[in-house]
Amino acid sequence: MRNIALSALDLAPIKKGCTTSEAYNRTIKIAQHIEQLGYKRIWVAEHHNMEYIASSATSLVIQHIAANTKTIRVGSGGIMLPNHAPLVIAEQFGTLETLYPNRIDLGLGRAPGTDQETAMALRRNNFNTAYQFPQDVAALQQYFSDSNVDSKVRAFPAEGLNVPLYILGSSTDSAYLAASLGLPYAFAAHFAPAQLAQASAIYHQNFKPSASLSAPYFIVCVNVIAAKTLEEAELQSTSVKNLFAGILTNTRAPLSPPTFEVIYKGIPSIEQAANNMLSCSFIGDKETIRKELEPFIEKLQIDELMAISYIYDDQKCLDSFRILKEALTD
């Protein structure tokens, strides 16, 4: 249990009073820090039309992180494949794998990663692309395969490269797909935890071994706010709670300093919705984090825990990743 793989998700959030460039610098600091701690990978995710999230050009952010680290795996959590032609993604990630051998992951999601109007702009009004997701995943696999050598359409420099694919999701649909394809599965419990247990059961029960994976590999992303004391962790957690309240009320704001009370205190509808979205959050000191995470990992058969830490203070954010590592390895 204590040797479970640890990784991180970072969306390059823009903090209150900071610039986009500073957001990228913070992501690099996190990547370098967790690399030294022995984390397995760091992923960034594709989001669009979000003023305070700087990871929209996901492939470029991956390249920037890989260029400023040495050993940690870097990838997408994920690329929203219906927004793109599979050929283009194969070319991009084939290029990344060529530049940074054996370090690039390609996580794939079905959702648009944005609002409906922006999705229309991305997909040029073709919403059928979402229904073609399984076929697009298969097309990507073909572009990376040596067997594509005789095809009229080939992806260079992707062809023949080992870029591992991961299916991402927040519902049972993605669990069935990952299982049927024999691919590793990453669940977004950090914002959509409702179907986590059901998705885990479906994935493990229906998994079919493939050429790339002989047994299920289940990654779960959760919110982690770890600090020296429980009181400090609770204080720091108000930043992410307030951030999610902004999402729920469509009043988005940058990642802001902690507050003594959450800004939605006393509004039952928002309190309930925020609590539901953040129910897979682990907040506390090292002992609390360990006590809560160990049974969670065992019950859901988690192979790799991916943490996202929306903490305003840069050093406290780095400390949180260190404390998490210590909680599961000491």
pTM above 0.85, yes or no: yes
Domain that holds residue 171: 5-329
Q: Which tens digits make up the pLDDT trace of 256-287?
A: 999 999 999 999 999 999 999 999 999 999 99
Overall average pLDDT of the 226-253 stretch: 95
Residue 142 pLDDT > 70, yes or no?
yes
CATH number, residue 153: 3.20.20.30
For helices 172-181 and 196-206, what crossing angle results, to 10°? 20
pLDDT at 131: 82
β-bridge partners, 218: 185
- Stated length of the chain: 330
Q: Which tens digits make up the pLDDT trace of 58-80?
A: 999 999 999 999 999 999 999 99
Q: Where are the beta strands (DSSP E) in 115-231?
A: 165-169, 185-187, 218-226
What is d(CA 231, CA 283) in angstroms, rounded to the nearest whole number? 10
Total domain count, the chain? 1
Nearest C-alpha neighbor of 281 from the set 249, 322, 244, 318: 244
Nearest C-alpha neighbor of 325 from the set 10, 35, 58, 22: 35
pLDDT at 7: 98
